[in-house]
């Protein structure tokens, strides 16, 4: 008998329309420390409730939801963490990424106003988007506690893929916590780094550099990379995780300015949330692009092809794309001719 084509139903639509309930459950779980509590052996509703300082009914609500989300598993009266949760969401471990799970929370209200923000005229967009006068040192510190908790892993991955042992200096555009320079300096004692970022961030960058003992090799400078001069003594440039914050014209201009500033023979690695050339995914970069409507910036999701074009138009050669974090970050790399 021929297959009867399945009639569309509302299951998928219902799930997506309430997906923010899941986000809220995960973020509250991190804030209440439930995964840390379970790992410490307080793994029944009553003992977990006590350890979190909430009432049993609320611990039950949360644990049942987290179980249905496959973040914890249940065996009768006891609950335990799923393997990824155990590795990344138990506080006190070096791989703890709880702050990164809370990274989007300051924009919770903004996402709730997405419709209004999508109706905002282009003339009201700001080049620096969310980095306005409300982006204080305090906010930058919370923001980069989050990026650091995930960025050090990304930086280690980068330095495993890319050998900078023969290079002398990295300029890191929008380097934030400085993670790419920190790992580079730890791996190559002769390598220097200069983290370029906005004024409130640079104060925080210096804290991370001190904490990691790399201040003899890595410095941080105030630089708005969309307009300020870039250092001219670097043979490596990195720009990671800020691509969707700017429109095509601005990114093309930045890539050109990096090309002009790099030493001949230098290399540029643009690590960004890029969509595919067909423009139909992956989902994470597409949503990073949408989030720029929330931030009132000019930004959007750039494709891998767009980025390769920015590099080639600027004069870079041997331009190549490499998947960096599957379905999330792609690395486009190019070299400045001459040496």
Residue carrying structure tokens 């959007």: 300
Q: Could you give the string, one character per residue 235-254, with x where binding to ligand SAM holds by CB under 6 A and - elsewhere? A: -----xxx--x---------
Q: Does 23 bind ligand SAM (CB under 6 A)?
A: no
DSSP label at residue 285? H
Burial of 92 (0-12, 13-18, 19+ CB in 10 A): exposed
DSSP per residue, 14-80: HHHHTHHHHHHHHHHHHHHTHHHHHHTT--SHHHHHHHHTS-HHHHHHHHHHHHHTTSEEEETTEEE
Q: Does 333 bind ligand SAM (CB under 6 A)?
A: no
Q: Does 272 bind ligand SAM (CB under 6 A)?
A: no
Q: Does 201 bind ligand SAM (CB under 6 A)?
A: yes
Q: Does 33 bind ligand SAM (CB under 6 A)?
A: no
Q: Does 198 bind ligand SAM (CB under 6 A)?
A: yes
Within the chain, what is the greatest distance between any pair of CA atoms? 74
CB of 134 to ligand SAM, least distance (A): 13
Instruction: Write out the binding residues for ligand SAM, residues 155-174 only, by CB under 6 A.
Output: 174
Q: Does 259 bind ligand SAM (CB under 6 A)?
A: no
Would you put residue 237 in left (φ > 0), alpha (ψ -120 to 50) or beta? beta
Query: ω into residue 93 within 30 of 0, thus cis?
Result: no
How far apart, in whole angstroms, are the C-alpha atoms of residue 272 and residue 276?
12
Give 271's strand partners: 240, 331
Q: Does 335 bind ligand SAM (CB under 6 A)?
A: no
Binder to ligand SAM among 38, 65, 100, 197 (CB under 6 A)?
197
Residue 241 vs 291, nearer CB to ligand SAM: 241
Binder to ligand SAM among 179, 261, 274, 275 (CB under 6 A)?
179
Binder to ligand SAM among 98, 176, 244, 299 (CB under 6 A)?
176
Size of the site for ligand SAM (CB under 6 A): 20
Q: Does 226 bind ligand SAM (CB under 6 A)?
A: yes
How far apart, in whole angstroms, are the C-alpha atoms of residue 37 and residue 239?
37
Q: Does 184 bind ligand SAM (CB under 6 A)?
A: no
Which positions lie near ligand SAM, rule CB under 6 A? 131, 147, 151, 174-177, 179, 196-198, 201, 223-226, 240-242, 245
């Amino acid at each position: 008998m021929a297959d009867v084509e399945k009639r569309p139903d509302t299951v998928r639509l219902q799930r997506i329309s309430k997906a923010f309930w899941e986000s809220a459950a995960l973020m509250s779980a991190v804030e209440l420390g439930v995964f840390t509590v379970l790992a410490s052996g307080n793994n029944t509703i009553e003992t977990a409730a006590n350890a979190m300082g909430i009432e049993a009914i609320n611990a039950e609500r949360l644990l049942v939801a987290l179980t249905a989300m496959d973040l914890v598993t249940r065996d009768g009266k006891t609950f335990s963490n799923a393997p990824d949760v155990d590795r990344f969401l138990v506080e006190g471990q070096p791989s703890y990424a709880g702050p990164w799970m809370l990274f989007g929370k300051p924009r919770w209200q903004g996402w709730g106003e997405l419709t209004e923000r999508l109706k905002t005229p282009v003339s009201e967009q700001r080049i620096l988007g969310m980095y306005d006068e409300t982006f204080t040192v305090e906010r930058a510190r919370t923001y980069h506690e989050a990026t650091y908790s995930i960025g050090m892993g990304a930086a280690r991955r980068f330095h495993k893929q890319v050998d900078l042992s023969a290079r002398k200096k990295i300029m890191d555009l929008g380097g934030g916590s400085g993670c790419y320079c920190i790992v580079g300096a730890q791996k190559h004692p002769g390598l220097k780094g200069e983290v370029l970022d906005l004024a409130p961030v640079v104060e925080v960058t210096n804290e991370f550099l001190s904490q990691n003992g790399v201040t003899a090799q890595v410095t941080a400078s105030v630089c708005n990379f969309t307009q300020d001069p870039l250092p001219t003594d670097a043979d490596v440039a990195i720009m990671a995780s800020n691509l969707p914050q700017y429109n095509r014209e601005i990114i093309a201009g930045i890539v050109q300015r990096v090309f002009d500033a790099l030493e001949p023979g230098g290399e540029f690695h643009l690590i960004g949330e890029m969509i595919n050339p067909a423009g139909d995914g992956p989902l994470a970069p597409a949503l990073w692009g949408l989030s720029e409507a929330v931030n009132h910036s000019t930004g959007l999701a750039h494709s891998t092809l767009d980025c390769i074009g920015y590099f080639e138009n600027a004069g870079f050669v041997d331009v190549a794309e490499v998947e960096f974090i599957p379905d999330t970050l792609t690395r486009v790399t190019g070299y400045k001719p001459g040496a």
